[in-house]
């Protein structure tokens, strides 16, 4: 278990550096929050989703099975989260994404690799892509003032998914320059999100940390419980089930804050607190979870 703690510390150092840069930037210069938010939502994240789905080395049936498991676990977590937020008299619409969506990317992927190796990592990448499709599509749709099917199919994350699926079904290989371009743009996503979060933490009131603690507790507890219910009910016993358990136990996704900030709602500070607190708590809970799953 101490080895797992050491690996987690290594994962946290780059995250902490990016957060610190964003934190310091808010005091020594003018941080372009709106520019970074738009860049993440409309360009870098769709590129990341497209590149991930285009390059993943799994069969179509496996992709669909993992996606269905991911969406089932997210749906159950969202239902339970909505009930809990209503009971606590917290804004359901603005805070539910922070409770529902885990950090399956820059946190969940390395941990899945650490616990399950190459095969588990491939499954975790598909889980990440499936979660990203749901999160970015629904979050982008929530920012729209009016629902429209036309607008739905013009959302950048969903367009990226459609293009990636068409590319996989095509008998032709995806052009190398396209993959390289989307890889470069997608690589911007995590650093930019962490800079935005660090900037938000610099100006966060203490009351937001209290509410953020509640959101963090719901994210970690409900996520793991939802995964356990789905895996047990469907009798998933291979790497698929382990990946679902690990990924759903991850802390609040950083992108949840980006969307909360873009929505203009008065929930962005508590969501930022949820990201920070759930990530710190995960340093203790994840090694225990991995020990339990392996045993």
182 band by pLDDT with thresholds 50, 70 and 90? very high
- pLDDT (tens digit per residue) in 107-156: 787 788 777 877 777 788 788 878 877 887 777 666 555 555 666 667 77
What is residue 173's DSSP assignment? P
In this predicted structure, the answer to whether residue 265 has a pLDDT above a threshold of 60 is no
Q: Is 13 exposed, middle or buried (0-12, 13-18, 19+ CB in 10 A)?
A: exposed
Q: Which residue has the higher pLDDT, 260 or 73?
A: 73
Is the full-model pTM beyond 0.85? no
Domains of the chain and any CATH numbers: 2-294 (1.20.1530.20)
CA-only gyration radius of the chain, Å: 18
- pLDDT (tens digit per residue) in 229-240: 999 999 887 778
How far apart, in whole angstroms, are the C-alpha atoms of residue 119 and residue 178? 26
Mean pLDDT of 16-45: 83
- Residues 252, 258, 264, 266, Cα dihedral to 10°: 30
Percent pLDDT > 70 in the chain is 91
Mean pLDDT of 175-183: 92
Q: Which residue has the higher pLDDT, 255 or 179?
A: 179
Residue 91: per-residue pLDDT:
85
Residue 59: per-residue pLDDT:
67
Residue 75: per-residue pLDDT:
94
Alpha helices in 88-188 (DSSP H): 92-100, 108-142, 149-152, 156-169, 176-186
């Amino acid at each position: 278990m101490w080895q797992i703690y050491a690996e987690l510390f290594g994962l946290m150092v780059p995250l902490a550096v990016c957060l610190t840069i964003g934190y310091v930037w808010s005091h020594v210069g003018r941080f372009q929050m709106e520019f970074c938010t738009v860049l993440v939502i409309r360009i870098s994240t769709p590129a990341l989703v497209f590149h991930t789905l285009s390059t993943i080395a799994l069969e179509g049936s496996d992709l669909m099975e993992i996606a269905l498991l991911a969406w089932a676990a997210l749906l159950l977590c969202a239902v339970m989260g909505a009930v809990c937020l209503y009971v606590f008299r917290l804004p359901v619409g603005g805070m539910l994404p922070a409770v529902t969506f885990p950090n399956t990317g820059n946190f969940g992927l390395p941990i899945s690799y650490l616990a399950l190796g190459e095969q588990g990592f491939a499954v975790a990448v598909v889980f990440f892509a499936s979660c990203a499709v749901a999160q970015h599509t629904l979050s982008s749709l929530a920012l729209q003032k009016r629902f429209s099917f036309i607008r739905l199919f013009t959302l950048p994350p969903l367009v990226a998914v459609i293009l990636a699926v068409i590319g996989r079904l095509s008998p032709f290989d995806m052009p190398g320059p396209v993959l390289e371009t989307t890889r470069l743009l997608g690589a911007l996503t995590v650093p930019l999100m962490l800079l935005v979060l660090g900037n938000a933490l610099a100006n966060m009131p203490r009351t937001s940390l209290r509410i953020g603690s509640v959101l963090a507790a719901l994210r970690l507890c409900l996520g793991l419980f939802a995964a356990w219910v789905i895996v047990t009910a469907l009798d998933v016993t291979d790497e698929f089930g382990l990946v679902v358990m690990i990924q759903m136990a991850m802390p609040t996704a950083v992108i949840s804050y980006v969307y909360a900030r873009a929505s203009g709602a008065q929930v962005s500070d508590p969501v930022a607190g949820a990201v920070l607190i759930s990530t710190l708590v995960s340093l203790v809970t994840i090694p225990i979870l991995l020990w339990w799953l392996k045993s």
